Amino acid sequence: MPEHTPATQPRSLSGMQPTSDSLHLGNYIGALINWVELQERTDAFYFVADLHAQTVPTDPEVIRRRTRITAAQFIAGGVDPERSAVFCQSHVREHTEVAWILSCQTAFGEMNRMTQFKDKTAKGQNANVGLFYYPILMASDILLYRPEYVPVGDDQRQHLEITRDLATRFNTRFGETFVVPEPYILKESARIMDLQEPAQKMSGSTSSDKGLLLLSDEPSRLAKKLRSAVTDTDAEIRFDPEAKPGVSNLLTIHSALSRRPVDELVAEYAGRGYGDLKKDVAEVVVAAVEPFQVRMAELMDDPAELDRILATGAERATEVASQTRNAVYDAVGVLPPAGGF
């Protein structure tokens, strides 16, 4: 088993559902790049949220395939399983065990006020109990590892707030058991928009194929989508998300992948056309995606090795999660079996 990150480092945790056969560029820039940076200075835990994926009816074989794909994409994107625990949520039983205890500390009205449940059901998603219960399982996912930092985007802020509320409530009633986590707010520059609808966030579920840059797309296809990206009739290249969302999105993508400040890019393109910008953005996107695709192919060609990585990650995660579960059970009065939990 690899040597763990020193316990003196703060701990971070994040997860992603296996909802597609490929992550898109927004996932990569908005999440994976941040994850890779975090593993340099934290004891990092990254999981495939396969239990959360059960809230949407999906073919069992599809979920199994996508679970492996999602884990492989974490690693291909730069997450190092020698440094970070990479695992499946379902492989660590403490996630559901502590979720039940937390649900008994949660008022029905609190869950009824969660906006994501309302938004998703309003859009036609099946209003099952699992979707309603989702924030409690997410709270368990987080609190089990006692992380100091949890990377979140705007759409997850409310879920982190209920997590913080539950941790505080539990600690007040039963004694200090959980760390109340702080949000690690992802940089605003990481917000990647739809290429065809640049006022909307790039999304695997709502974006059209032309608006979506999949990490599995062939380089020529990525370049074609970027060439057809919506801009505007004003030929000036400047960063103005309100007035020029399409151009600003292209500058954001370029800046995130080239690691060059937006202001520097704007100065470089003074007097040049949108075609030059699109061509250069395509080059930096392809340069980032090609090594990702090579590593993905290696991982998917060796499922036994990928499964070994997940098993090692789950073992490491269980070491931490079981200690928290035991403390929670003890706090609420669960009688341990003779041999211990």
Measured CA distances, 180 to 46, 113, 168 (Å): 19, 21, 7
Radius of gyration of the chain (CA): 21
Cβ atoms within 10 Å of 55's Cβ, excluding its own: 21
CA–CA gap between residue 157 and residue 143 (Å, rounded): 15
Whole-number Å distance between alpha carbons of 85 and 183: 20
DSSP lists the bridge partners of residue 15 as 47
Provide the phi-psi class of 340: left if phi over 0, else alpha when psi is between -120 and 50, else beta: left
User: Which residues, including other chains, have CB under 8 Å from residue 139's CB and lie 6 or more apart?
Assistant: 99, 102, 159, 162, 163, 166, 167
| CA triple 53-58-59, angle to 5 deg | 130
Contact 18, 50 (CB under 8 A): yes
Q: Cα 285–291–297 angle (5° rounding)?
A: 125
* Structure confidence at residue 129 (pLDDT): 84
What tokens does 79 get?
Answer: 């997450």
What was the pLDDT predicted at 247?
96
pLDDT of res. 3? 42
Task: List average pLDDT for each run of 10 residues in the chain, which is 341 residues long.
Answer: 56 91 91 90 95 90 95 96 97 98 91 74 74 90 91 69 93 95 65 93 89 95 96 92 95 94 95 95 96 95 96 98 97 91 79
Instruction: Give the whole-angstrom CA distance, residue 300 versus residue 32.
Output: 19
Interatomic CA distance for residues 213 and 29, integer angstroms: 11
Tokens describing residue 101: 């205890």
Closest CA to 185 of 161, 169, 205: 161
**pLDDT score for 150:** 84
**Is the whole-model pTM more than 0.75?**
yes
The reported pLDDT for the residue numbered 2 is 39
- The partner residues of 46 in beta bridges, in order of sequence, read 14, 86
